[in-house]
């Protein structure tokens, strides 16, 4: 028994059939071919599968595909469609990532934060990315890069 759902994925309308028990993460990766959300723990602990659902970060390993019918999903692929965003540029400049596996989720969490709070404090940044586990960097270069975006934005205001 399948159900037809329609999602707006990275500004494109996509319709597809899913099983009621299909996990959104698997549907994104296997059916829709979007690979930036990663499989890290499959129980909502690591944040590697983070995407923006109607602009808010969610863990796609904890969501059924049928739940997102009619909603809008942005993955890292969608974020860079018209060039790197300021937070991507800053993360790149700071050499923030090592293995890079947590990067897609981390970038989206940072994007959500900066959308709500253009000049976050270091503590606000730490809190915003606390659901994205990174085993390589010790977080410091990631935090610094996100704070730097905020400082730059703050100066422009």
Partner 1 sequence: MSSLKIVGESPERIDGLEKITGAATYVDDIDFGARLLHAEIVETPYAHALIKSIDTSAAEKVPGVVRVITGKDFPYRFGLYMQDRFSFPTDRVRFVGEQVAAVVAHDAKTAKRAAKLVKVVYEELEPVLDLTKALRDDAVLVHPDLGNYTRCPWFFPQAGTNIAHWRKTRKGDIEKGFKEADVILEDIYTVPRYSHCAIEPHVIVGLYDLSGRLTLWSASQSPYTQRHVLAQALAPLGLSHKDIRVVTPYVGGGFGGKAGVSMEIIGAALAITVKGQPVKVRWSRAQEFYNTYQRQGVIARIKLGAKKDGTITAIEHTLHWDAGAYVEYGANVVNAVGLSATGPYRIPNVKIDSVCVYTNLPPSGPYRGFGYSEFHFGLESHMNRMAHKLGMDPVEFRRKNAIREGDTLAYGAKMNPSGLHEAIDRVAAEIGWGKKEVSKDPNKVIGKGFACFWKAPALPPNAASAAFMKFNEDGSLNISVSGMEIGQGFLTVMAQIAAEILTVPMERIRVELPDTDRNAYEWQTVGSHVTWGCGNAVKAAALELRGKMFEVVERALGIARDTLYLEDEKVKCRTRADFELPLQNFVINGIQTSHGNFIGGPILGSGVFMPEFTSALSDPETSQGGHPNVHYTVGAAAVTLEIDKKTGKMRVLKATLAVDAGKAINPGLVKGQIVGGIVQGLATVLYEDIRYDLKGKLVNANFTDYKIPTSMDVPDEIVPIIVEVAQPDGPFGARGTGEHTMIPAAAMVANAVEDAIGLRMKIMPITAEKVALELQGISYEDVKGSYMGLCFAGHPDAYKFHTKASTKK
Report in angstroms how near the CB of residue 84 gets to partner 1 at its nearest.
7
Alpha carbon 147 to its chain centroid, in Å, reads: 18
Q: 43 in the Ramachandran plot: left (φ > 0), alpha (ψ -120 to 50) or beta?
A: alpha
Report in angstroms how near the CB of residue 157 gets to partner 1 at its nearest.
25
Report in angstroms how near the CB of residue 74 gets to partner 1 at its nearest.
12
8 Å CB contact between 131 and 47: yes
- Tell me the per-residue interface mask from 50 to 69 with partner 1, x by CB under 8 A, - otherwise: --------------------
* Total Cβ atoms within 10 A of residue 32: 18
Residue among 52, 62, 59 nearest 7 (CA) = 52
Stretch of 66-74, 103-111, 113-121, 148-156 contacting partner 1, by CB under 8 A: 103-111
Residue 99, both tokens: 């293995």
Residues that bind partner 1 (CB under 8 A): 29, 33, 35-36, 38-43, 45-46, 48, 75-77, 80, 84, 88, 91-93, 95, 97-104, 107, 125-127, 129-143
């Amino acid at each position: 028994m399948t159900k037809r759902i329609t999602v707006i994925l990275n500004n494109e309308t996509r319709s597809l059939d899913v099983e009621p028990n299909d996990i959104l993460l698997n549907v994104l990766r296997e059916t829709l071919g979007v690979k930036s959300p990663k499989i890290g723990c499959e129980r909502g602990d690591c944040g590697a599968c983070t995407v923006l659902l109607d602009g808010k970060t969610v863990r796609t390993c904890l969501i059924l595909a049928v739940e997102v019918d009619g909603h809008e999903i942005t993955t890292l692929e969608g974020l860079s469609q018209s060039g790197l965003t300021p937070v991507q540029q800053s993360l790149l400049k700071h050499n923030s990532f090592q293995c890079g596996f947590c990067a897609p989720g981390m970038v989206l969490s940072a994007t959500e934060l900066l959308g709500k709070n253009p000049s976050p404090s270091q503590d606000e940044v730490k809190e915003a990315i606390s659901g994205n586990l990174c085993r390589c960097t010790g977080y410091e270069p990631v935090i610094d890069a996100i704070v730097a975006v905020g400082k730059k934005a703050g100066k422009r205001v």
